[in-house]
Structure 1
Amino acid sequence: MRSGKHSRVTRPLAAVALVGGALLAALAHAAALPEIPAGAGVPAGALVIIGGALRPDNAAVWRRVVALAGGPGARIAVLPAAAGNPALAGATTAALLKRYGATPFVVPLAPRLDGSDYRKVADDAAVARQVRAAGGVYFVGGEQLRITQALLRDDGSRSAVLQAIWDLYRRGGVVAGTSAGAAIMSSTMFADPPATLALLRQGLEPGRTVAPGLGFIGNDVFIDQHFLVRGRFARMIPAMLGTGYRTGIGIDEDSAIVVRRQRHVEVLGYKGALLVDLAQAHTGPGGAGQPLSITDVALSYLDHGDRYDLATGRHVPGPDKGAAQAPDTAGHRSPVYSNDILGNNAVLDVMEKLVDSDQREAIGIASGDPRLPGPQPGFAFRFRRSAGTMAWPSGATRAWSIRDVRLDIAPAVSSVVLPAAEPERAR
C-alpha cells in the first residue's frame, strides 16, 4: 500500500489452512474470494495485466481478454501507442484477438505512427466515442512513456480518448496491456531506470527513474513486468521505497494477472507473479544516494491458477496444488545459494529450493563487472523462512505457490582479479 493521502493499513499476509489434499485445495479455490459491491470510486471492470512476451498460443490469457470484453464478437480497441512500429504492432495484435473471437479495431493513436497527429487523435470526439462503446481496450508493448505521452495532455489532464477508456473501465469493460501496457497500470511506473545494480547503489534519480502512470489498478499497488526472466524484483524494491508504495506485483513473461475491482487478483498463463510487501520492512542507515540496506521484505509467489485478495492478504492456491507443505519435509539437504540472483528466474528458483529443503535461509549474490578495476560494489540477498512461510506444491509439475519468504538486502563488495591476458605471439 502507498503512503500519503491514499494510504491504508496493510495487514500481514493471513495464513491459509489447507489440511486435505488436492481435492480440498480445489474446493477452497472454487469458493474463491468474497464479491465486492461496486462503489462510486471502484471501477466495475477488470484489468488483464500481462508481463510481456505473450505467446500467440497462450489461449488462457487471450480468451480471458475476449471473455471479459463481452465474449465472441466483442469490440476491443487496440492501442499501439507504445510500439516502435505501431502499424505492425497494432495489426498483429488485432489479428490475434480476432483469432480468439473478438472484433478488434486499431486506434491510430501513437507518437511514432507515420502520417498521424497523435495529439489531435487523442482528443478526437469520434475516436473517443468509438473507444467508449467498446467492450475492452488492449495496450500493446514497447515504451511506456509513449503511452502517457499519447494519452495525457501537456498539463497532465486526461485526453478525450483516455477519459473514454476510464468510462469503459468504470462501466464494466476490460483494460488489458502487455509489457509497457502493463507498466502504465499503476499510478507510478518505471520511466528510464538505470541498470538494477546502479539503482540499488544510488536509489532513484529524480525526473528519470519513475514517472506518472495511468493508475488503473489504483494508487497503492506498483506494477512491473518481464519480472522473473529479468530479475526485476531487485529494482522494484528501491522504486517502491522511493515513491511510498508498500505493495508491488511483478508479472512474469507469458503470464498475466486479472484484477477485479482493484482488489481481487487471479493468475493466468505460463508462470505467475511475485508479490513484494514492504509493510514490515526496515531500512538501514543511509539515505538518498546511498546503497540499499533493508530487512524483512516479504515475498510471495502467486503461481498460475492462484487467487489473492489485495485488501485482506488471503492467498488461495490454484486447484492443481496439494495441501500446504510445512518446511523441513523434503528435497534439498545442502545450502541453497545463487551467485547470480538477478539472473533469469533465479529468485524463484532460490525460493522454491528454500521451501523444499531443510535449510532456514538461502543466499544470493549480485556483483559488479569483474573486468572493471578495483572492488566492485555488489549486494547480498538473504532469503529466510518466517513463522508464516508456507508452500503449496503441484503434484503434476512441481511448481509451487509460496507465501511469505523474508528477504534482507545489504551491500557486499566483490573483488575478483582476472588473470592478465597473455600477449599475442607474432606469427
Structure 2
Amino acid sequence: MKYLSINSQIAKPVFDVEDGTYNKTQIVQISFPGVGKFPIFYSTGFDIGFQKYWGPITIKETTTVRAYMVIGNQRSEEAKAEFVIEKNETSQKGNVVVIGGAEHCKEIHKKIIDLAGGPEHARIVFMPASSAEPYESGMDRFKRFSELGGLEIDYNKVPDDDRGEKDFSSILNESKFWILPGALIDDQNRPNVDESLWRTNGFKKEYAEKLRDGGYNTVFLSGGNQARYMKCLYYPDGTEGPVLSIIREIYEEKGGVIAGTSAGGAFLSRIMMLGGGSYGSMLDGVFYQDVIVHDYFDTYKPFKNRVWLGTGAGILNCNTITDTHFIARGRIGRLITACLYLKKQTGKNTVGIGVDEDTSAISYPDNWFEVVGASSVLVIDTSEAVLETAIEPGRFKANDIRVHYLEAGDRFHIDEASGSTSVEISKEHRLHPVEKADQNYCLCGDVFGRDRLKTWLYENFITSTAEDIVGFEIIDNLEDSSDSIFYYKDVDDERSFVTFKKYYDLAKYGSALVRFKKKEDTVNYQGFTSFHWWGENDRNYPNLEEISSPGYSTKNMYIDIMHLTLLNFPDLSDAYDMPLKSDYNDRPEVWQEMFRDNKRFRLGMTVIPLPDETLELQVFFFDYAYYDYDRNGRYSPPRLMERFESNYGGLKYDYDIIQIDEARNVKVFINDEEKGYTDVFGKFVFQTSDRFINIKVEHEYIHRKVELEMKNLMLPISEAVMKFTDRSY
C-alpha cells in the first residue's frame, strides 16, 4: 500500500510467538498492543507481498514474518520475526479416503482404522462443518468406528457436559475420538448447546494446536453441504485457516488419513463439485464460481441447470475431481461435463472419480487407488477424449471418453504427467458376453436416473455381445434430483417489475445422448462382492449381516456424448388422467406392470449421423406417467414436479415416470417412399444424397395406426449433432 506514509509513533504489531527455532509448525497470532482494533497487514517472506490479516497464521517452514498496522492514511513501521522450523520426523504422505455417502458397511470403517495403525494406534478427529446435525453425526460416526472398526475408547478421558453426559466436542477431550467443534448449523438433537456458535472455531489457535499436538492421525469430514467447509475453514480472502492447515499437515507430513463422505469427499479435490445435475449440465454446461466465503448462505444456488464447480481443499492433489452418491443419483453426466470443461480450460487431462454410496476410493502416496465397500467406483479418463466444437457456449460434444467400472478389491493408477489411468482387476474370471435377441438398444430414456446406470450397463452391454448401446435423458424422475424436464430462466415482467420463473419444455429444448461402446481393449470380469452391515437403516443393529452377490468389473469402455437436437417427441396432448395405482403398498414391479398395460405407445424418433454419411434412425415408444405419493399413480402428460400437503402428513413431492421401449417392425417412409422396417433394436440405417428429407414412421398397434413425421430435415446435419466415430456394426 504505497500511498501510506510511515509514522514511527504508531505502535508496531505484536507476535504472540517469539522468533526462534522450533521443532514443529507454529500458529502465530498478530495483534495491536494498545486499545482499539485497526487493520494489520502481513507477509510471510521478502518475496511475498503483504495481505490483510484475518486471524492466526500457520508457519510450517523457516521464514521471516513481517507485519504493520494501518491507522487512517498512515502505517506503522514493520514488526519482524524470524521462525526457524526444524522438524525431527521425516515427512511422508498418507491416504485420502473418498466415500460416496450413505456408508454403513464394516469394510470401509475397518479399512480406515487399519490405515491409521489399527485400533490401538488410531486417533480420530471428526470434522462436522458441512452437517446440519454436527454433534449427532459425530456420535453416529463414533458408534461405527468403535463397533465396526474396533476403535477402543477410554471414557474417563471424555469430560462431562453440564447435563452430566459425555461431551466428545470438548477441547478437554483426550480420548481417541474428538468431535472438533466447527459448524454453521445448530444441531436440534442437542438442545443444551448451540452448535451454530462453532462457526469461527476453525480459525482459533487453541483448536489448531490441539489438532497439532493431540497425536491425531485420522481426520473424518462429514457429509452435508460442501460449501459450508469453505465458510468454516477459509478466511474471507480465500486463504486457509489454521485448522485446515493442520489437517493438511497431518496428511502431507505425518502420513495420516484424511477421509470424507459425501460432501466431505467432494471437498477433498482441488476443484470441487458444488451442485447441479447430469441433464442440465450436459445441456447448459458448467458454472464456475468459487464459494464467496464472507457472504455465503445455504440458499445461494447460482448454477440454475448447470453443474457448479469451485475451488476445493486440494488435499487429493493429483489432477482429479471427485463426485459422490454417483450411481444412486445418476451423476455420470455432470462428472463427464466437469472433466471435459477442466480439460478444455486447463489443457490438462482431469480424471473424474465417481464414488457410489457405501463405497470408497482410497488413494496411496504412489497415486494408486483401491476400491473398498459395497458398490462401485467409476473412473472417467479424458486423456484420449476428442472434444469437438460446441454448438453453443457451455455445451460439449466429445468422443472416446475412457471409463472403468470398478468394485471392491479393484485398483487404478493415475499418471500425474499425462492424466491417463491404468487398472488392476481383482476378479479372476473373464466375463464372456452372450448374444441376446431381446436386448435393449436405445430404450433408456432416463440414463441419469436413480441406480439406473449399473443395471442398464450390466444387462445390455457388459453381458451382451452388443458393441455399443445408446441412452438419452428426457427426465430424471427423482424427487431429490436437480434435474427436471422443465428448464427455467428468470424473466423480468416489465408491467409489474417482478422477476419470475418461466418454464420451458426441455423435450423441445433438447436432450443429452450417451453412447457406451467397446473397443479391442475392453475387458469384462465377473466374480462376487461381499460386505457386512447392520441392514438398511441399521434395522438389525447390533447384529451384522453379510451380503454376498454377483459382481462385475470393466476396464476400458468408452463413451461418446452429444447434445441431441434432432429428437422428435410424440404429441402427448391427448394423454388422459387415468388411475394406475390405488394402493401405496404395491410393489414397484406391480406399478410398472400396470403402467405398461395402460400405455398409449406413442412413437418418437431421432436421427444419428454415422460415418460415411450413413444415417441411423432410432424409433421408440414413449409414454409418461406420474406418481404422487398419496396413493395415486396416474397416466398423464409431463408436468412440473409439485410440492403438496399429503393427506398422510408432511410435504411431499409428485414425481414423473417415463418409459421407453424399442419400436420394432415400424414402417419407415423417406420422402414418401416406403424404405423398410426397423429391426429388433428399433433402428433403421439408410443413406441419401438429398439435401432435404422427410421421414415418416407408422405402426399398427391395437387396431390403430400410430404415425410420426420429421419434416424438412436438412442434410448434412453435423451442425446439429455430432458424428460418432469408430463405430462397429
Corresponding position of 2:500: none
Decide whether aligned partners of structure 1 residues 41 and 188 sit closer, same or farther in structure 2, where only a CA change above 3 A counts: farther
Query: Among residues 384, 403, 414, which one is paired with 1:299 in the alignment?
Result: 403
Question: Quick one: distance in 2 between partners of 1:283 and 1:49?
Answer: 28
Instruction: Write out aligned runs for 1:152-171 (5 A).
Output: 152-170=234-252, 171=254
Query: Hey, what does 1:129 align to over in structure 2?
Result: 209
Provide the rounded CA distance (Å) in 1 between the counterparts of 2:261 and 2:110. Answer: 15
TM-superposed deviation, 1:43:
5.1
Distance 1:126 1:404 in 2: 49
Query: CA contact under 8 A between 1:295 and 1:407: conserved in structure 2?
Result: yes
Matches within 5 A, 1:128-147: 128-132=208-212, 133-147=215-229
Match of 2:137 among 89, 100, 106: 89
1:394 is aligned to: 527
Question: How far apart are the structure 1 equivalents of 2:577 and 2:111?
Answer: 60
Q: Deviations over 1:83-118 (max 9, x none)?
A: 012122122222322323333110001122435544
* Correspondence list, 1:148-187, <5 A: 148-170=230-252, 171-187=254-270
Q: Secondary structure at the match of 2:434?
A: coil
Conserved 8 A contact 1:200-1:235: yes
User: Aligned partners of 1:41 and 1:303: how far apart in 2?
Assistant: 34
Q: Given residue 150 of structure 2, which amino acid in structure 1 is its aligned partner?
A: G
Which residue of 2 is the match for residue 360 of structure 1? 467
CA RMSD of aligned residues (A): 2.6
Query: Residue 116 of structure 2 aligns with which residue?
Result: 69
Output one character per residue of 1:46-78: Cα deviation in whole Å (capped at 9) or x when no partner: 1111000111xx111011111222321421000
Match among 331, 334, 346 for residue 232 of structure 1? 331
SS in 2 for 1:216: coil
Q: Distance in 2 between matches of 1:280 and 1:363?
A: 21
* Cα 1:288–1:269 shift into 2, 3 Å: same
CA deviations on 1:220-245 (whole Å, 9 max, x unpaired) are 01100000111111001111222235
The answer (yes or no) to whether the contact 1:330–1:358 under 8 Å persists in 2 is: yes
Aligned to 2:96: 47
Q: CA deviation at 1:303?
A: 1.0
Once the two structures are overlaid, the 10-residue window that deviates more, 87-96 or 158-167, is 87-96
Counterpart for residue 379 of structure 2: 275
SS of 2:372 mapped into structure 1: strand
Higher relative contact order, structure no. (Cα contacts within 8 Å, ≥ 6 residues apart): 1
Quick one: which of 404, 408, 428 aligns to 1:322?
Answer: 428
Q: Structure 1 regions of 5+ residues with no counterpart?
A: 1-39
Q: Tell me if the contact between 1:42 and 1:262 (Cα under 8 Å) persists in the aligned partners.
A: no
User: How far did 1:165 drift?
Assistant: 0.7
Q: 1:249 to 1:42 in 2, by over 3 A?
A: farther
Deviation at 1:199, TM superposition (A): 1.2
**Which is helix-richer, 1 or 2?**
1
| Aligned counterparts of 1:181 and 1:84: Cα–Cα separation in 2 | 13
Match of 2:146 in 1: 98
1:110 pairs, out of 183, 202, 208, with 183
Greater Rg by CA: 2
Confirm or deny: 8 A CA contact 1:322 1:395 kept in the other structure: no
Q: For residues 116 and 235 of structure 1, do their structure 2 counterparts lie closer, same or farther at Cα, with a shift above 3 Å needed? A: closer
The answer to whether residue 515 in structure 2 is matched with residue 382 in structure 1 is yes
Letter in 2 for 1:411: H
* TM-score normalised to structure 1 length: 0.82
CA distance in 2 between counterparts of 1:416 and 1:262 reads: 53
Q: Deviations over 1:296-315 (max 9, x none)?
A: 11111111111112227332
Task: Provide the identity percentage.
Answer: 25
Residue 283 of structure 2 corresponds to residue 201 of structure 1: yes
Deviation, structure 1 residue 284:
2.4
Is the CA contact (8 Å cut-off) linking 2:470 and 2:513 kept in structure 1? yes
Cα distance between partner residues in 1 of 2:280 and 2:519: 29
Contact between 1:250 and 1:275, CA under 8 Å: does it hold in 2?
A: yes
Closer, same or farther: CA 150–343 of 1 in aligned 2, 3 Å: same
* Residues 411 and 115 (structure 1), Cα distance of their counterparts in 2 relative to 1, 3 Å cut: closer
| Structure 2 spans left out of the alignment, 5+ residues | 1-88, 152-175, 187-193, 290-302, 344-348, 476-483, 487-503, 530-548, 579-729
The DSSP-based 3-state class of the residue aligned with 1:78 is strand
Cα shift readout 1:180-203 (whole Å, capped 9, x = no counterpart) = 01001110111233x322211111
1:24 paired residue number = none
Q: Residue 388 of structure 1 aligns to a residue in which SS?
A: coil
Per-residue deviation, residues 318-358 of structure 1 (Å, max 9, x unmatched)? 2xx22334x6x436344443232112333233433313212
SS in 2 for 1:268: strand
Q: Which has the higher strand share?
A: 2
The separation in 1 between residues aligned to 2:553 and 2:90, in whole angstroms, is: 32
Whether the 8 Å CA contact 1:272–1:301 is kept in 2: the answer is yes
Quote the offset at 1:129 in angstroms.
2.5
> What is the number of equivalent residue pairs in this alignment?
378
SS at match of 1:217: coil
Q: 1:271 to 1:331 in 2, by over 3 A?
A: farther
1:414 deviates by 4.8
Cα distance in 1, alignment partners of residues 550 and 195 from structure 2: 51
Structure 2 Cα separation of the partners of residues 118 and 43 of structure 1: 31
* In the alignment, structure 1 residue 341 sits paired with structure 2 residue 447: yes
**CA distance, structure 1, for counterparts of residue 392 and residue 233 of structure 2:** 32
TM-score (norm 2): 0.49
Equivalence for 2:311: 212
- Return the alpha-carbon distance in structure 1 between the equivalents of residues 182 and 568 of structure 2: 48
What is the distance in 1 between the residues matched to 2:366 and 2:244? 18
CA distance in 2, matches of 1:406, 1:154: 42
2:28 aligned residue: none
Q: Which residue of 2 aligns with 1:60?
A: 107
Name the stretch that deviates more: 46-55 or 281-290. 281-290
2:437 and 2:271 mapped to 1: Cα distance? 42
